[in-house]
Amino acid sequence: MKIGILGGGGVAQTLAGKLMALGHDVVIGLRAVTPEDLAKPRQMAVPLQDWMKASGGKVVTLAAAAAHGEVLINAMTGQGSIPGLQAAGAAQLDGKVLIDVANPLDFSQGMPPFLMAEYAGPTSLAEQIQAAFPTARVVKAFNTIAAAVMVDPGLVKGPHDLFIAGNDAAAKAQVSAIARSFGWEHIVDLGDIVGARGTEALLPIWVRLWTTSGSAMHNMHVARG
């Protein structure tokens, strides 16, 4: 499968590496692909020039990545997601599954972060992406866990859950199939894209668990009576 990942940080690099190992044709997309962009430090990741050398992966523009992918992954920041998708081009998103991994966290006051005001009311980042690109098939997924756990759920002991939400049942089935190829067994469907309000709101709890425990290797599990 051809997959375009929009964003170049730790999440993008981790997902790209796993998907490439599974045999997919993956490219990472950036706003600009200059020697300076490829050499600069990345959040929780190596410079992309080093990642390309080590992995054999490709880095292209956002528009080229969006055109390449049959499935797209938004791994940009919460602040940069909609502008970045606009730069990729609405026509390139038309009809495609768009997995939204981003979280709308505001780090302007340092740690701990909080939800960005524009996504803290009766909406979510994923809902706003779906509204801005109505012909894309947006699925919120993978945003409540560390990048390493996204692609290797066995790093967390015991049963734990991957939450997904989206309006398109077939798109959610395709995302679930990708998740199962990573090793996920427990996938919880939260219904339509409004379910993203819940998963995005979980992030302050996830970050708090990280800071109090000193480890990002944790996740949540729904226990039913």
> What CATH number did the domain enclosing 87 receive?
3.40.50.720
- Name the pTM for this structure: 0.96
Residue 186 lies in a domain: yes
Q: Does the pLDDT value for residue 197 go beyond 90? A: yes
Residue 16 lies in a domain: yes
Residue 218 lies in a domain: no
CA distance 159 to 148: 16
> 12 vs 16, 108, 123, 197, CA distance in Å?
6, 23, 25, 22
Whether residue 46 is contained in a domain is answered as: yes
Does residue 112 have a cis bond before it (omega within 30 degrees)? yes
Q: What is the mean pLDDT of residues 8-12?
A: 96
What pLDDT shows up at residue 116?
Answer: 85
Cβ-Cβ contacts under 8 Å for 168 (sequence gap 6 or more): 97, 137, 139
Is the pLDDT confidence value at 182 over 90? yes
Q: Is the pLDDT of residue 137 over 90?
A: yes
d(Cα 130, Cα 137) in Å, to the nearest integer?
8
Q: Which two tokens stand for residue 189?
A: 């469907």
108-122 pLDDT per residue, tens: 888 888 888 888 889
Mean pLDDT of 1-25: 97
Q: Which domain holds residue 135?
A: 2-213
**Total domain count for the chain?**
1
Per-residue pLDDT band at 91 (split at 50, 70, 90): very high
17 is a domain residue:
yes
225 is a domain residue:
no
Strand order across the beta sheet in which 162-166 lies: 58-61, 25-30, 2-6, 71-74, 97-100, 137-141, 162-166, 187-189
Confidence of residue 82 (pLDDT cuts 50, 70, 90): very high
Distance CA 66, CA 4 (A): 6
Domain assignment present for residue 224? The answer is: no
Inform me whether the pLDDT recorded for 161 exceeds 90. yes
